[in-house]
Amino acid sequence: MKTLQFHYHMDIVFSEPVYNHTYTLKCLPQTTQTQEITECAVEVFPKGKMQESADSFGNRMLYGEAQEKQSCFSVDVTGMAKTGLYKQAAESDSERALYKYQTSLTSPGMQIQSLLGRLRKNSACSQKERIYSYMNAVYESMQYTKGVTSISTTAEEALSLGQGVCQDYAHILLSLCREEKIPARYVVGLLLGEGESHAWIEAFDGERWRGFDPTNNRLAEEDHIKISHGRDYRDCSINRGVFTGRATQRQTVLVRVTEV
């Protein structure tokens, strides 16, 4: 078990002032089977009406609006988390069934089917071992490269390129698991160190949900803080919004997670 202090900061700078800005944020970690959030505070600028709710996957969600003109929008989330925990939670097969089905971002093509065919020849004994082998295959097949993929890049396209970022690694691993009818879900969260938000997956290993980080070829445990989960990236997008104006926008994100 570790105690981690986290700070998530996002800035959006508009090329010219905008107004009537409404937004939805999924940036708040919550207590789960594997972590306990002992402190959590959020500050949004400019201040305006804001409420907290939950989406259909149970993720914490902030939604609000800022009607006055603004040239920038910023969010700061700070807090403390105890990670590396495990508490058994009651869950039915029907609750896991949703995560057995492919989405348009994870649907396999020839590249993924070919990789899966090679992996099946060396199928491991347990479901957990099979997921490990899929994770290792994704790690070995990809090179971490920024700027070659986008939020709309599919798992098949990323594997064909052999390059991408954590979102692409996660989508490919989801595709492999789901083709084998293994429930698997996309996860957004924070990783020990400095950088940006991170993505990995949780797969049901036959006993419980377990985190697998294909970008780093390791389990997602004590060094990971989970924010949200869903079927793919689109269910877990941290920031969505609309505004009135003709501005373009530039977004920067900085994450800092340290062990206490």
Domain ranges for the chain: 2-84+238-259, 94-235
**Best CA proximity match to 176, nearest among 124, 220, 218, 133:** 133
Pick the CATH number of 2-84+238-259 from 1.10.10.10, 2.60.40.2250, 3.30.70.890, 1.10.1060.10: 2.60.40.2250
Burial environment of residue 117 by CB neighbours within 10 A (0 to 12, 13 to 18, 19 or more): exposed
Query: pLDDT of 6-45, one tens digit each?
Result: 999 999 999 999 999 999 999 999 999 999 999 999 999 9
d(CA 224, CA 211): 9
Residue 166 CB partners (closer than 8 Å, separation 6+): 144, 198, 199, 200, 215
What number is the average pLDDT over the span 199-206? 95
What number is the average pLDDT over the span 97-116? 96
Positive or negative CA dihedral for 222, 41, 184, 23? Answer: negative
Give the rounded percent of residues in the chain with a pLDDT score beyond 70: 98
Give the rounded percent of residues in the chain with a pLDDT score beyond 90: 89
Query: pLDDT of 129-183, one tens digit each?
Result: 999 999 999 999 999 999 999 999 999 999 999 999 999 999 999 999 999 999 9
- The reported pLDDT for the residue numbered 78 is 98
Indicate if the pLDDT at residue 103 is higher than 70: yes
Query: pLDDT of 60-70, one tens digit each?
Result: 999 999 899 99
What number is the average pLDDT over the span 83-101? 83
Indicate if the pLDDT at residue 122 is higher than 90: no
Indicate if the pLDDT at residue 188 is higher than 90: yes
What number is the average pLDDT over the span 87-116? 89
What number is the average pLDDT over the span 64-91? 90
94-235 classified as CATH 3.10.620.30: yes
Sorting pLDDT into bands at 50, 70 and 90, what band is 90?
low
Indicate if the pLDDT at residue 124 is higher than 70: no
Q: CB 191: neighbour CB atoms within 10 A?
A: 23
Sorting pLDDT into bands at 50, 70 and 90, what band is 94?
confident
**Best CA proximity match to 222, nearest among 206, 230, 211, 214:** 211
